[in-house]
Structure 1
Amino acid sequence: MRIYKIERTQQLPISISEAWAFFSSAENLSRITPPWMKFEVTGELPEHMYPGMVATYRLQPVFGITLKWVTEITHMEENKYFIDEQRHGPYRFWHHQHHFKEIENGVEMTDIVHYALPYAMIGRLAHRINIEKKLNEIFKYRHQKVEEIFKQGK
């Protein structure tokens, strides 16, 4: 199984508590996901995230094919980090770390994603042709959208 990695860091002029409140809310995920993915939360979500929390979504990542995605928050330390892992969805493996660190004049957020695709050679080919590009587009959109949200205020 080939494991790929994406790592992105972003600095925002907000407090750690503002960053945590925004990014730890699964409801805000749709605000920072590209519209072409037609991302939708499909299950009920609690007011506050906690380890063991399961979230369900529907999305169209490629070719207009609707997929269900189920993630679980496996680890969390408030105002520091949380980890979501795919329990059902398009990847063979998905482990997404969200780290938050106070810095001068704001907060630094780091996303670290390790992921693997199903179907061995076909998955590696799909990654090279389309999936890597799409994931980079998603994170680029997210970066821009987050800057826009916190520049204008929520």
Structure 2
Amino acid sequence: MVRFEVVTLIRAAPRRVFEESLSVDTHMASMAASRERAVGGVTSGRMGPGDQVTWRAWHFGVAWRMTSVISAYDAPGFFVDEQVAGPFRRWRHEHRFAADGGGGTVMRDAVEFEAPLGVLGRVAESVALRRHMTALIVARNAHLKAVLESAG
């Protein structure tokens, strides 16, 4: 199993960052490079507790589908999305938001995932998936930061 954390500082209040992080539209815009689209469940607007969304994206030249659910939610401090169907044996993404003391937000993304296929999956995790998934979260956060900080 792979675990990693990404910390992003955003000059916007935690509630705004929390709410924008739940936007399907903002997520799709942040994942334009992989052509990620919501194709089932909540397909636009903001997700909430118990909501599901099915994503379709291209990674490594292959189309992938993953359905995730907002499995934990405590506004504006945190939420968790977890895979309920898709390519991973396990996928859990915890999003935490805390005031930075200066009007901004410290956003922490803690991701845990496990590839399928036993030993082959563990090789894929170490060779490519850890780096690829970390880069996706970093890109998503850079987009979210740009959207929120340009909005004032």
TM-score between both structures, scaled by the size of structure 2: 0.89
| Structure 2 counterpart of 1:24 | 22
Which range moved further: 98-107 or 137-146?
137-146
Structure 2 counterpart of 1:71, one-letter code: S
Structure 2 counterpart of 1:55, one-letter code: V
Distance 1:147 1:81 in 2: 17
Structure 2 counterpart of 1:84, one-letter code: D
| Structure 1 counterpart of 2:36 | 39
Query: What fraction of aligned residue pairs are identical, expressed as a percent?
Result: 20
1:81-125 Cα deviation digits (max 9, x unpaired)? 000000111110001100011122211110001111101110111
Deviation at 1:131, TM superposition (A): 1.2
SS of structure 2 residue aligned to 1:7: strand
Distance 2:83 2:126 in 1: 22
- Could you tell me which runs of 5 or more consecutive residues in structure 1 were left unpaired when the two chains were aligned: none
Structure 2 counterpart of 1:29, one-letter code: H
- Could you tell me which runs of 5 or more consecutive residues in structure 2 were left unpaired when the two chains were aligned: none
SS of structure 2 residue aligned to 1:104: coil
| Structure 2 counterpart of 1:78 | 75
The 5 A counterparts of 1:65-104 are 65-104=62-101
Distance 1:144 1:50 in 2: 22
1:119-143 Cα deviation digits (max 9, x unpaired)? 1110111122221221122123223
Asked whether the 8 Å contact 2:8–2:106 carries over to 1, the reply is yes
1:14-67 Cα deviation digits (max 9, x unpaired)? 01221122012222211222x3311001125275533221111111122x2111
Which range moved further: 115-124 or 125-134?
125-134
CA RMSD after TM alignment: 1.8
Which range moved further: 141-150 or 43-52?
43-52
Distance 1:27 1:18 in 2: 15
Q: In the superposition, relative to structure 1, how do residues 86 and 12 fare at CA in structure 2: closer, same or farther (>3 Å)?
A: same
Aligned length: 150
Which range moved further: 134-143 or 94-103?
134-143
SS of structure 2 residue aligned to 1:14: coil
Q: In the superposition, relative to structure 1, how do residues 139 and 85 fare at CA in structure 2: closer, same or farther (>3 Å)?
A: same
The 5 A counterparts of 1:101-140 are 101-105=98-102, 106-140=104-138
Moved over 6 A (4+): none
